[in-house]
Amino acid sequence: MQTKLQYTPTFDPQSIVSTKFSSIEVCAGAGGQALGLEQAGFHHVATVEIDKHACASLNANRPEWNIYEEDINSWILTSAKQYQGVDLVAGGVPCPPFSVAGKQLGSEDERDLFPAMISLVRIIKPRIVLIENVRGLLDRKFDAYRNQVNQAFEQIGYTLAWQLVHASEYGVPQLRPRVVAVGLPSSMATSYAFPNPISLTPPTVGEALHDLMSARGWLLADEWAKKADKIAPTIVGGSKKHGGPDLGPTRARKAWLDLGVDGRTIALEAPEADFQGNPRLTVRMVARLQGFPDSWQFIGAKTNAYRQVGNAFPPPVARAIGASMVQALTG
């Protein structure tokens, strides 16, 4: 007889505190960071994203977020001024310039949108700024670039604080290090402190996904859940230029295989009752490992939907950082 384990996220994904602070979210993707910030108390008055599939997902989940399907540089020229004075400007600027997969070209990469973020902050003059990127941005080879970014923000009156955060320290069942920079007007810079990790241990992959794996009556779901006894390796979003969805390069696939997961591609459904072997994850399963509520929709075919999930910033981490920013704004 199967044991039905029900995953309970560390944070109630439906809980949203009083929305007393306004925000703009750029390079929003499918809304992972924006959702976490909403849960922390930020009301998105504009949400900017260039990918049509991600915009469809945003509209399906939060049409009230005032979604612009537009290139950030074009949007800054045409629309940014009307939002002067919002409390927060936030964005997960594209990571290829600093990721290993993206060849780490830094400022020489045409996909580097830090200059756009600086221009946006110069126009908007928000009370606080949030920028998210991959851990590679903290590598020594990018010290000079980070210094340039710091100096550019200082020239417009802001001081940035950088921090490496681990999603697993905020209840997300995944090994996902990310770099976060929070900026405040230089006169207020000392008023901000990054959130402390929560004390709860994140669930294992088996604990997080057991009910989804057993949804179609898979008889070996209990056995699989016991084997999947660690948190997930880092989930990757993949590239638009290369093939369909998978769970990463060879090393990552080996880590998934150790958890009893076939990482070579993504499944459309959970295993059937008599399935034998290592199951594949569905988009919904991967979304749960990213900390999304099950109610969050991802619009598009499997490859597009998976890419949206894999590139997202986990909502529970964004919520924790958002709560720390609220504390700085109210303290």
Active site residues per annotation: 95
Name the CA radius of gyration of the chain, rounded. 20
Reported residue count of the chain is 331
Question: Does residue 291 contact residue 9 with C-beta atoms inside 8 Å?
Answer: yes
Backbone angles phi, psi at 323, to 5 degrees: -65, -35
The β-bridge partners of 183 are 129, 160
**85 and 77 in contact (C-beta within 8 Å)?**
no
Residue 44 is encoded by which pair of tokens? 């998105």
Are residues 36 and 319 in contact, defined by beta-carbon separation less than 8 angstroms? yes
Hey, what are 330's tokens? 């109210």
**Pick from 119, 118, 165, 162: which is nearest to 143 by CA?**
162
Distance (Å) of CA 192 to CA 187, 322, 331: 11, 11, 9
